């Protein structure tokens, strides 16, 4: 459902993304794991048409990101670190506003909110203004807003960053429930345990490059350990020596 080939993006002399390639299959949760500044978010911004690549190709459900950005955006639900909510609107009003940007009929908006709000625990604060929300509450509303049009491809860019234990747990559970045979999910994080819990395959990103890619068991064999933190550190160190 996603094909990324030889992707490059620089800011001045800094190579944020340097010849990155991977694919994401239907029914899969694909993890992008790496330290802060590794290039994960830049890669996702290129994929979601926020940035234009310097070189390489991205195809999303068959549509080329550079040539058909509008069609690509229609395929995506993107949950970023910046939630974009309006503080003076309630949770319901925020979600309805974003749903209308997708031209969803009112009946569809109501049924979709009825589906998403209980799963995310939004019902209990649905009529409160977003300016009163905790970070976890804002993140849940942001997720609902991004997925109102029921997109086939979902991108979660560090969705549990800064959340308390219970809110992070609820978000992870929701992501598990989003898995469908006809959909795919990209999950970006720097938290090892989340990758182990959620992801079918993982790409380790380091200094703008893919240092390793594979299933958890494949990376265990490559890293020579069962402990994923040890695997991560070893693969990053090997990549540093190769640079």
- Alpha-carbon distances, residue 2 vs 21, 120, 192, 209, 218 (angstroms): 11, 27, 23, 18, 21
Distance of CA 200 to the CA centre of its chain: 14
Are residues 108 and 183 in contact, defined by beta-carbon separation less than 8 angstroms?
A: no
Query: What number of CA atoms fall less than 13 Å from residue 166's CA on the CB side?
Result: 3
Confidence category of residue 233, pLDDT binned at 50, 70, 90: confident
CB atoms closer than 10 angstroms to residue 68? 16
Mean pLDDT to the nearest integer, 212-222: 90
User: What is residue 243's predicted lDDT score, i.e. its pLDDT?
Assistant: 59
Which run of H or E residues covers position 3?
Answer: strand 2-11
- Per-residue model confidence (pLDDT) at position 242: 65
Measured CA to CA, the distance from residue 59 to residue 45 in angstroms comes to 14
Residue 85 reports pLDDT greater than 70 = yes
Q: Higher pLDDT residue, 236 or 160? A: 160
Per-residue pLDDT of 66-82, as tens digits, reads 999 999 999 999 998 77
Which contacts (CB < 8 Å, 24+ apart) does range 61-66 have?
61/1, 61/2, 61/152, 61/153
The pair phi, psi for residue 114, each rounded to 5°, is: -65, -30
Q: Does the pLDDT at position 83 exceed 80?
A: no
At 126 the pLDDT is: 97
Torsion of CA 115, 118, 119, 122, to 10 degrees: 110
SS3 category, 121: coil
Q: Which fold has domain 18-84+152-242?
A: Rossmann fold (3.40.50)
Separation CA 156–CA 170 (nearest Å): 14
Judge residue 131's burial from the number of C-beta atoms within 10 Å of its C-beta, 0-12 exposed, 13-18 middle, 19 or more buried: exposed
């Amino acid at each position: 459902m996603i094909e990324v080939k030889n992707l490059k993006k620089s800011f001045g002399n800094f190579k944020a993304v340097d010849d990155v390639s991977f694919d994401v299959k239907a029914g899969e949760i694909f993890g992008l794991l790496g330290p802060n500044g590794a290039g994960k978010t830049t890669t996702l911004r290129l994929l979601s048409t926020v940035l234009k690549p310097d070189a390489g190709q991205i195809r999303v459900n068959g549509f080329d990101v550079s040539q058909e950005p509008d069609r690509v955006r229609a395929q995506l639900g993107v949950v970023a670190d910046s939630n974009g909510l309006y503080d003076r609107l309630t949770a319901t009003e925020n979600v309805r506003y974003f749903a209308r940007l997708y031209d969803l009929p009112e009946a569809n908006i109501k049924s979709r909110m009825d589906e998403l709000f209980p799963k995310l625990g939004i019902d209990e604060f649905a009529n409160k203004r977003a300016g009163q929300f905790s970070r976890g509450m804002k993140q849940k509303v942001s997720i609902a807003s991004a997925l109102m049009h029921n997109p086939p491809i979902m991108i979660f860019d560090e969705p549990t960053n800064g959340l308390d234990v219970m809110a992070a747990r609820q978000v992870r559970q929701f992501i598990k429930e989003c898995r469908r045979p006809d959909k795919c999910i990209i999950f970006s994080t720097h938290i090892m345990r989340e990758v182990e819990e959620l992801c079918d395959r993982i790409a380790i990103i380091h200094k703008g490059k893919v240092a390793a890619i594979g299933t958890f068991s494949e990376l265990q064999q490559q890293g020579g350990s069962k402990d994923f933190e040890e695997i991560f550190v070893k693969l990053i160190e090997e990549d540093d020596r190769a640079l």
